[in-house]
Amino acid sequence: MFKKSFFQSILFVLIPIVSLVSCDKDFNEIGADIVGDDHFTFEKYTGATVKSYNQKIGAVSSNNLAINQLGFYDNPPFGTTQANFVTQVELSVSDPKFNNVDPENYDVLPTVLDSVVLEVPYFSTIKSVEEVQVNGKTERRTTYELDSIYGVEGSKFKLSVYQSNYYLRNLDPNESLGQVQLFYTDQNTEIDNNKIPVLLNDLPTSDPRNADGRENTQFYFDKREHKTVTFEEDGVTPINTRSRPSMRLHLRNDVFNAAILNAPSGQLANNNVFKNFFRGIYFKTESIGNPGNMASLNFKEGKITLYYNEDTKKTSSQGDITYERTNKSYVLNLNGNTINLLNNSNENQDYLNATLLNNSQEASQLFIKGGQGSIAVIDVFGPDSDNNGIADEIEVIKANRWLINEASLTFYIDKQAMSDGRTIEPNRIFLYDLTNNQPIIDYNRDLSNSTINPKFNKINYGGVIEKENVANGRGTRYKIRITNHLRNLITRDSTNVRLGLSVTENINNIGFSRLKVGNTVTNRVPSMSVMSPLGTILFGSNPSVPEEKRLKLEIYYTKPN
């Protein structure tokens, strides 16, 4: 989170840079020639009609997202979100060969599976590194801070991992196999009913690796680095290997011994065959009576490693054959089709009341929430009373020949509604063309890039949270530039489309995800909204909102001589 003054300083640096690389083809047209934030020679107009509404979105397609949620997030202004996950698994090497020995030699020991470890890395940042002495050797011990963790730090929940028997096919048979099969956030019951009911992460608490239940019944996102102990060739001297924080679970040997090391003939021939034989892994979360915790994870970086040992055939230069016991490993990647399964519960009554209106009443508060959440709908410039396709207010601006220097929508945060200490405010919101499910022109024309974090690219387009300039200051507003959007309405008679407003996990991705059931205003929402568990409450345009907090369109313009 960054303070308002910080972003102002970035703007002063970026604006002259962007002016060198931007390409504004409307330079000589009415409404052209952006001058920036210095408006002392401009006239300001805030009387344009702006109306805003809430819209609940319901179940939304959530297959193959770049980032997925897992766990529980208790967000008091909205409610509790539970996130489960299912993924296909792929062979790292097709048609692997185990028991690599002469089958006629009965003196050879069989392949033995030692352990199976599932690992998914967390997003983390190194906070400090220190050197320590361990068994006479210097080791580097690293302290990490986890990123993209939501809720009460260290709060626990039950995590169960199962083998899925639900086939995540690639193509939709109802569309003549011509379109990608969509899966939706509300399909958890279907997935759960098709799991193989054998718990994979079943280590008892009597096992030192799971002494506090951290791998199943008392799971939490642990920020400590992992330490793995191996031994030198003497079998006595330990070697400590440290790695970044991750979900690390020990899975049942018998399941993977049967499915991989002793798979039926032909089932490991390639990934197409394998993904029908071994249909995937299902991560199921259950509350244990506390708020829980939720993490954003890139499961594509995850893997399941089978550690085993077997006799390897050795042939000497003289032709003598011996067998050497060798430690080996084989990796299954968490790749293929995935679904993020979401469920909202204990929803806040104010949130329910506002979103039940679903675009039928001008809002005093705008509830925008990611996941299986809600968006806002924005209409600007009011009615077209003569039905000529141009709003009356636009006709007045055209008649007065205003030169639009800058225009922006300012959304003030309802700080009182967002004051709960557990509520994490989204860093960014996204304004887009709701009618056509695409970015507005101001997004497309902004070429500015952040050297700090790519999620803060397109700073001129905006949508970045501005905060109180105090320690741990809360958000005050978001501001989004729509200068070129308005110019097109005024100078090119572009269609005055409805605008949508959502949270966004990453401003650089502009894909859209389909709703399971479309509503009266849209059938899609930004995919980056689906990936975010966060939400915010903004003041809307209803006349009951105090003027200084009400959603407004600010237009800076000059009149020709």
Q: Does an H or E element contain 14, and which? A: helix 4-21
- Those residues with Cβ within 8 angstroms of residue 499's Cβ, 6 or more apart along the chain or in another chain: 377, 378, 379, 380, 431, 432, 433, 434, 440
Rounded CA gap, 390 and 494, in Å? 9
Rounded CA gap, 550 and 561, in Å? 33
Q: Are 516 and 525 in contact (CB under 8 A)?
A: no
In terms of phi and psi (left: phi > 0; alpha: psi -120 to 50; beta: otherwise), the region of 272 is alpha
pLDDT in tens, 151-179: 988 899 999 999 999 999 999 988 877 79
Residue 232 has a pLDDT of 64
Question: Can you spell out the DSSP letters for 136-188?
Answer: TEEEEEEEEEESSEEESTT--BEEEEEEE-----SB-GGGTT-SBPP-BTT-H
DSSP state for residue 96 in the 8-state scheme: -
Residue 233 has a pLDDT of 63
Residue 19 has a pLDDT of 36
In our burial notation (b when 16+ CB lie closer than 10 A, e otherwise), range 143-166 reads: ebebebbbbbeebbbebbbbbbeb
**For residue 440, what are its two tokens?**
């507005």
Instruction: Please name which of 325, 301, 349 lies closest in space to residue 78, comparing C-alpha atoms.
Output: 349
Task: Enumerate residue ranges in the chain where pLDDT < 50.
Answer: 1-36, 39-40
Phi, psi dihedral angles at 404 (to 5 degrees): -80, 115
Residue 555 CB neighbours (<10 A): 22
- List Cα–Cα distances, 143 to 125, 128, 245, 474, in angstroms: 9, 5, 10, 28
**For residue 552, what are its two tokens?**
């407004």
Pairing of strands 79-87, 226-231: unpaired
Residue 99 has a pLDDT of 75
Rounded CA gap, 255 and 2, in Å? 48
Residue 239 has a pLDDT of 67
Rounded CA gap, 110 and 89, in Å? 26
Rounded CA gap, 242 and 199, in Å? 28
Residue 272 CB neighbours (<10 A): 9
Residue 236 has a pLDDT of 63
